[in-house]
Amino acid sequence: MSVASRPTAGAAYELAPYKSLDNGALQARIAAVRASLGSRLLILGHHYQQDEVIAMSDLRGDSYQLSKMAAESGDCRAIAFCGVHFMAETADILANQPARLEARDGRRVTVVLPDMAAGCSMADMAAIDQVEGAWEELGEVIDTADVTPVTYINSAASLKAFCGRHGGIVCTSSNARAVLRWSFERTSRVLFFPDQHLGRNTAKAMGIPLEQMPVWDPHHDTLGGNTPEALKASKVLLWRGHCSVHQMFTPGHVDLFRAKVPGIKILVHPECPMEVVDKADVQGSTGKIIREVEAAPPGAKWAIGTELHLVNRLKHEHPEQEIHFLSPVVCMCATMYRIDLAHLCWSLENLAAGTPVNIIRVDDETARWSLVALERMLAVK
């Protein structure tokens, strides 16, 4: 089981007073901790974080880039992860892998998540007992030795460990295709969880027909709601999970922008439903979305389908382009948004005082097997 090992009791500072400080005061105090800890502290920020938090981050990236940064975290002693729970778990596993620990004479990197309520609703859609149950049930119909389990990085460490134990692998939105290719070099089938959309969009782009992608519903009593024949005919078994943020974009939004803004290009994240991705000009991870905009000439017109904070930041950073949010309704990741300057300042000052709060520490056995699946991913080109 993954655990946050230290409760806030015993902390030098309580959270409540930080909430009444204004941003200027919080920024100054965060800057003071950064100055005092220097290279011993690394603040990582996911692209969906609020601007104020991004401004305080040493490095920012998409899920894949952040994993690599944690794996290469050098001599830092602590990582404050401005993102969500599964990202902090991944950072803990990679920063404290045996080779790194040995190079640091056994000293662990303390990974903290400024607000423990920063989870991911998609990750919560696949629990380890559900995945283990599905695997067992599948084994009654097909040979699971011929199935590679692939977990999207947006999942609990226990699922990554499951993949490590069963010859499987982790993927992110930036390498899902390469990971599926890797999987099909080993087995003729894949079980992909928890995001059905990323799995479907990626497999479809590789030419796999939809009929060979049944969806496994973990809440269904028998075979995830499938017939034995459908499972036997499958190539990619998709898990019934999704991102509630990206699920809100629709093909109608794409049609509206195409009708309203001549020459507009539609740029979406692959967590969007297939019907949206099919109509888009470009799809990719948050990192790819940023690179596409950065490489575009002045006057380029975009409607972007991903989390609101990132789209708004791109708008401000690129006034020479016309950037729209793809949906007329607000699609923001409420859990990412929980990380604010008050929580960041509180967690950093406790770190500096030697009473870290909200530590994310994956237990050794889970970390060991998760690392197997993560290393397979990091080795895939």
Q: Report strand pairing: 147-152 vs 110-112.
A: unpaired
Cα-Cα-Cα-Cα dihedral sign, residues 187, 127, 239, 92: negative
Q: By CB under 6 A, which span of 237-245, 258-266, 287-295, 363-371 interacts with ligand SF4?
A: 237-245
> Does residue 62 belong to the site contacting ligand 13P (CB under 6 A)?
yes
Number of residues that bind ligand SF4 (CB under 6 A): 13
CA atoms of 31 and 23, how far apart (whole Å): 12
SS (H, E, C) 242-309: CCCCHHHCCHHHHHHHHHHCCCCEEEECCCCCHHHHCCCCEECCHHHHHHHHHHCCCCCEEEEECCHH
> Does residue 333 belong to the site contacting ligand SF4 (CB under 6 A)?
yes
Q: By CB under 6 A, which span of 34-42, 174-182, 238-246, 348-356 interacts with ligand SF4?
A: 238-246
Look-up of token digits 């880039």: 65
Beta bridge partners of 43: 80
In this structure, are residues 366 and 161 in contact, taking their beta carbons and an 8 Å threshold?
yes
> Does residue 63 belong to the site contacting ligand 13P (CB under 6 A)?
yes
Angle of CA points 364, 365, 371, to nearest 5° = 85
In this structure, are residues 236 and 213 in contact, taking their beta carbons and an 8 Å threshold?
yes
CA atoms of 162 and 67, how far apart (whole Å): 19
Tell me the closest approach of the beta carbon of residue 333 to ligand 13P, in angstroms.
7
Alpha helices in the chain (DSSP H): 23-37, 51-55, 63-71, 85-95, 98-103, 128-138, 157-165, 176-184, 196-205, 228-232, 251-260, 274-277, 286-295, 308-317, 341-352, 364-379
Site string for ligand SF4, 61-90 (x = CB under 6 A): -----------------------x------
Nearest residue (CB) to ligand 13P, 35 versus 381: 381
Rg (CA), the chain: 21
Strands laid side by side in the 322-325 sheet: 282-283, 265-268, 301-305, 322-325
Using the rule CB under 6 A, which residue among 336, 360, 367, 374 binds ligand SF4?
Answer: 336
Q: By CB under 6 A, which span of 71-79, 172-180, 205-213, 323-331 interacts with ligand 13P?
A: 172-180
Task: Specify the amino acid at residue 176.
Answer: A
Per CB under 6 A, contacts with ligand SF4 among 18-47 are none
Q: By CB under 6 A, which span of 59-67, 101-109, 324-332, 345-353 interacts with ligand 13P?
A: 59-67
> Does residue 122 belong to the site contacting ligand SF4 (CB under 6 A)?
yes
Q: Which does 121 bind (CB under 5 to 8 A by kind): ligand 13P, ligand SF4, none?
A: ligand SF4
> Does residue 286 belong to the site contacting ligand 13P (CB under 6 A)?
yes
Using the rule CB under 6 A, which residue among 307, 348, 361, 374 binds ligand SF4?
Answer: 307
Tell me the closest approach of the beta carbon of residue 125 to ligand 13P, in angstroms.
13
Per CB under 6 A, contacts with ligand SF4 among 154-183 are 154
Nearest residue (CB) to ligand 13P, 46 versus 361: 46
- Ramachandran assignment for 106, one of left (phi > 0), alpha (psi -120 to 50 degrees), beta (any other): left
> Does residue 67 belong to the site contacting ligand 13P (CB under 6 A)?
no
> Does residue 175 belong to the site contacting ligand 13P (CB under 6 A)?
no
Binding residues (CB under 6 A) for ligand 13P: these are 47, 62-64, 120, 154, 172-174, 243, 271, 285-286
Binding residues (CB under 6 A) for ligand SF4: these are 84, 120-122, 154, 243-245, 271, 307, 333, 335-336
